[in-house]
Amino acid sequence: MVSISLLPKEFRQLDALRKKQAHLLILFGTVSLSLLLIMGIVSINGRTARHQLDNTLAYKQLLEQQLHSLAPFEEPYERLVTLNEIMKQIESEQV
């Protein structure tokens, strides 16, 4: 193998340029992979947060449906309380 110092100046410059390009390529690849990893983590966290929000909204809708299904019983219950109060007043007046 020939020593680099014995090569002409152009070859040494070319070799230095190739090394610099290789280092820049490795740096660019590392940064790119790091960004892809960060984007993947953010994406997963975003999906998790979105699923939690969807679950919360679904639970809220379920509670609202249950509340609306109970609503028809609310008015008769109020009437029953009023009727019981009237009956108590009548009984107290009779005594």
What does the pLDDT look like over 22-31, one tens digit per residue? 898 999 989 9
Most confident of 12-16, 19-23, 75-79: 19-23
pTM beyond cutoff 0.75 = no
**Residue 56: pLDDT over 60:** yes
| Mean pLDDT, range 42-67, rounded to an integer | 81
Tokens representing 28? 């660019």
**What sign results for the dihedral spanned by CA atoms 47, 52, 57, 61?**
positive
Lowest mean pLDDT among 38-42, 56-60, 67-71, 89-93: 67-71
Determine the pLDDT at residue 93.
Answer: 76
* Nearest-angstrom CA–CA distance, 15 and 23: 12
**Residue 78: pLDDT over 70:** no
